[in-house]
């Protein structure tokens, strides 16, 4: 009992486990009420795991190279203990929507460079695959091929760098195979094919929270 109290005392503000969520608009919205970061924060408190401090670092429209550009200011300077990388949707999506996506080989290169900088700062890193651009389960969402390819790249980087992976793309597909029998393109885990509704935020929160605790 005394030990528990001492342990809790030890996790004062200075000694908190700082977790930064580094990503795009999905993560930017994640810190809003109902967002996945907010949900992880709530879950951790409810479970009495008070040692964590959760910080959102998501900016709309970001691709992997935007993360690389701003990581000194927005992540490294804050000395995080854990960084959750959740990026890739815009790298694929912007090819079609504005002609400014990211080539697969450069995606891999910048992603590795982000990992290297985090490791050099002794931060633990959790990788996430980009979930969906469209929720149809029959493989007919326009970007399904590319999202699968970029997810494979991230899975490969997790393995190569021996890092934990939260395979959101796989989790979303499995969820939708059960809950999206109508093959709809939105409305099950997203509001608009990309951004998370309540169920989507909860699913992401559950998956990432598991990975954080497993570190």
Interface ranges with a second copy (CB under 8 A): 65-66, 68-69, 94-103, 106, 109-110, 113, 134, 138-149, 152
User: Between residues 156 and 198, which has the closer beta carbon with respect to a second copy?
Assistant: 156
Closest approach of a second copy to the CB of residue 34, in Å:
29
Q: Is the dihedral of CA 117, 120, 121, 126 positive or negative?
A: positive
How far, in Å, CA of 154 to CA of 137, rounded? 21
Q: For the CB of residue 12, give the shortest distance to a second copy in the complex, in Å.
A: 36
64: phi then psi, degrees, rounded to nearest 5: -55, -40
Q: How far apart are CA 184 and CA 138, in angstroms?
A: 10
Taking the least distance from each CB to a second copy, the nearer of 40 and 71 is 71
CA distances from 48 to 2, 25, 42, 52, 65 (A): 16, 29, 10, 10, 37
CB of 119 to a second copy, least distance (A): 16
Measured from the CB atom, is 11 or 68 closer to a second copy? Answer: 68
Residue closer to a second copy, measured from CB, 54 or 150: 150
């Amino acid at each position: 009992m005394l030990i528990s109290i001492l342990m809790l005392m030890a996790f004062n503000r200075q000694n908190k486990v700082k977790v930064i969520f580094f990503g795009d608009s999905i993560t930017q919205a994640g810190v809003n009420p109902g967002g996945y970061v907010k949900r992880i924060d709530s879950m951790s408190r409810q479970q009495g795991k008070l040692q964590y401090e959760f910080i959102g670092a998501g900016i709309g429209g970001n691709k992997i190279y935007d993360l690389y550009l701003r990581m000194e200011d927005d992540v490294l300077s804050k000395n995080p203990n854990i960084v959750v990388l959740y990026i890739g949707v815009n790298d694929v999506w912007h090819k079609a929507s504005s002609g400014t996506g990211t080539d697969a080989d450069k995606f891999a290169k910048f992603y590795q460079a982000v990992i290297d900088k985090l490791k050099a700062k002794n931060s633990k890193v959790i990788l996430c695959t980009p979930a969906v651009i469209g929720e149809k389960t029959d493989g007919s969402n326009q970007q399904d091929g590319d999202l699968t390819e970029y997810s494979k790249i991230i899975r490969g980087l997790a393995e190569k760098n021996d890092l934990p992976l939260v395979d959101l793309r796989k989790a979303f597909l499995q969820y939708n195979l059960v809950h999206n029998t109508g093959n709809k393109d939105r409305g099950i885990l997203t509001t608009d094919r990309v951004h998370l509704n309540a169920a989507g935020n909860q699913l992401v929160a559950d998956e990432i929270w598991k990975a954080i605790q497993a570190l």
